[in-house]
Amino acid sequence: MSDTRFISFSGKGGSGKTTTMSLFLSAILRRNIFKEILVIDADPDANLSETLNIHVETTLGEVLDKRKKELEGPAAAGTKLRFLIWDSIGHGNGFDFLVMGHTTGTGCYCSVNSVLNEVLVETVTMYDLVLIDFDAGIEHFSRRSGNPSDTLIITCDPSRLSFDTAKRIKRLIEELALPYERQFLMGCRFDQNQKALFNGLAEEVGLEVLGMIAYDAEIATKNLLGEDLLSLTPDNPSIKTVQGILKQLVPDSETI
């Protein structure tokens, strides 16, 4: 496949990043606009599997820990990592799922991680759409792990700190010249009466507003109970909001 589309999500911890990404995936699956979808949980906290109701057997970090010694030879590493990545990919209802996780222990993982990045680039090109849930904050940007992406969505909750984080993310992206074609700000858990305030703060950040998801009692209850967000009914207001936003990002004329 070619012309893989990427939509990445970032923001301060607790700003609704994982919830927002789950809602986007739900809206994408309902609209049936992509045939092959890969969802990547790149957040070390790895909560996305719960909101998507998918069991994770292992993470890439765990795989690398177990096989580090065997992967020290670059020539062998590429072939073995291809199999390891596919073994680590879970399969949901209409999408594949990969948890990055993290490595532990001592020793240099530089050569292994270099090969891993190369293999991952090959892997994602097999999909029409890749959704990435980054770890909270800005560290992944300083590691230049943004990679070319069609869209970066930075989430903000009703706190000034989340907008401060968004400013730092935007500044760092510019300093590192990361190749995001589109960057948006997305509000999560806002009251509709705060829309003007949200727009004003977004203007201070210097990012285009993609939309605003109001506080949703049904989502809050599901999060408390540990229930997945893919089971939300079609008339859920947050789903409707995200469906409208999705049409802005991917018009019907661009459907794959």
Sequence spans of domains, the chain: 5-254
Burial per residue of 36-52, b for 16 or more beta-carbon CB atoms within 10 angstroms, e otherwise: ebbbbbbbeebbbbbbb
CA gap 22, 231 in Å, rounded: 11
pLDDT at 243 over 60: yes
Angle subtended by helix axes 17-31 and 237-249, to nearest 10: 70
What's the pLDDT tens digit per position in 216-230? 999 999 989 989 999
Mean pLDDT of all residues in the chain?
82
pLDDT at 125 over 70: yes
List Cα–Cα distances, 50 to 9, 22, 53, 95, 227, in angstroms: 17, 10, 5, 15, 7
Q: What is the mean pLDDT of residues 71-82?
A: 59
Positive or negative torsion for Cα 213, 219, 223, 226: negative
CA gap 255, 49 in Å, rounded: 26
What is the length of the chain? 256
Angle subtended by helix axes 110-124 and 60-67, to nearest 10: 140
This prediction's pTM:
0.85
What's the pLDDT tens digit per position in 149-184? 588 999 999 999 999 999 999 998 888 888 788 899
Answer whether CATH 3.40.50.300 is correct for domain 5-254: yes
CA gap 62, 59 in Å, rounded: 5
